Chain A
Amino acid sequence: EAQVTQNPRYLITVTGKKLTVTCSQNMNHEYMSWYRQDPGLGLRQIYYSMNVEVTDKGDVPEGYKVSRKEKRNFPLILESPSPNQTSLYFCASSRTGTRREAFFGQGTRLTVV
């Protein structure tokens, strides 16, 4: 089954403790991205990657890092999480080029206390 898998689904952590949210897709998509979803703000793009070893900032990249060492994986790293990073995070993937809809993971609910 074609899917985007995120782990963990839920995470509660303390301020400053480094964490990683994993994302994996099995569709051989070149393009992957991370979004955060906050009430009243919709989905905002954090980082994206057009292919292996090619990443770039989205609209709200501060406080986040990503890597793309393999085509299928695109982890999101919070080196020193803060409470304002409490949010619902989604990973998405798609083929590159135009007219490509995105496929989304089920989300990771992160709470930073």
Chain B
Amino acid sequence: AQSVTQPDIHITVSEGASLELRCNYSYGATPYLFWYVQSPGQGLQLLLKYFSGDTLVQGIKGFEAEFKRSQSSFNLRKPSVHWSDAAEYFCAVAVNSGGYQKVTFGIGTKLQVIP
């Protein structure tokens, strides 16, 4: 079975600083990978996704993520964080399972942005 590890539960960065959120997955083949963001009181919104091809994917709100097969990682990055980026971020992996796409989420990383 697949699994997702987000090793950082909380991260604090200063506004304007760069950001990297870590995500590692466990699966025998190349999975489909997603990053979602959850703002306070809101549902999850898709930031970006990786299915195949270019290993550096661009998403919304200036985020990008890089798939590294050798490290089983899919880290999320942003060059300059804005206060509005404070939220919880979830990495997810999807695999084909009995005719449907089973999605497994990490436990999330809560991002705090300080002035």
**Are B44 and A104 neighbours in the complex by a CB distance under 8 Å?**
yes
- State which of B42, B99, B102 has its C-beta within 8 Å of the C-beta of A106: B42
Inside 8 A of A92's CB, which chain B residues have their CB? 44
Known: A40-B107, A42-B105. A50 touches B90 (CB 8 A): no
**Are A98 and B96 neighbours in the complex by a CB distance under 8 Å?**
yes
**Are A104 and B101 neighbours in the complex by a CB distance under 8 Å?**
no
Q: For B4, B100, B108, which residue has the most chain A Cβ atoms within 10 angstroms?
A: B100
Q: What is the number of residues of chain A that contact chain B, defined by CB distance less than 8 Å?
A: 26
Q: Closest CB of chain B to A57's CB: distance in Å? A: 12
CA distance A48 to B4 in the complex (A): 20
What are 22 pairs between A and B in contact, CB < 8 Å?
Answer: A31-B100, A40-B9, A41-B107, A42-B90, A42-B107, A43-B90, A44-B105, A45-B102, A45-B103, A97-B101, A98-B94, A99-B32, A101-B46, A101-B49, A102-B44, A102-B46, A104-B36, A104-B43, A104-B44, A106-B41, A107-B42, A107-B43
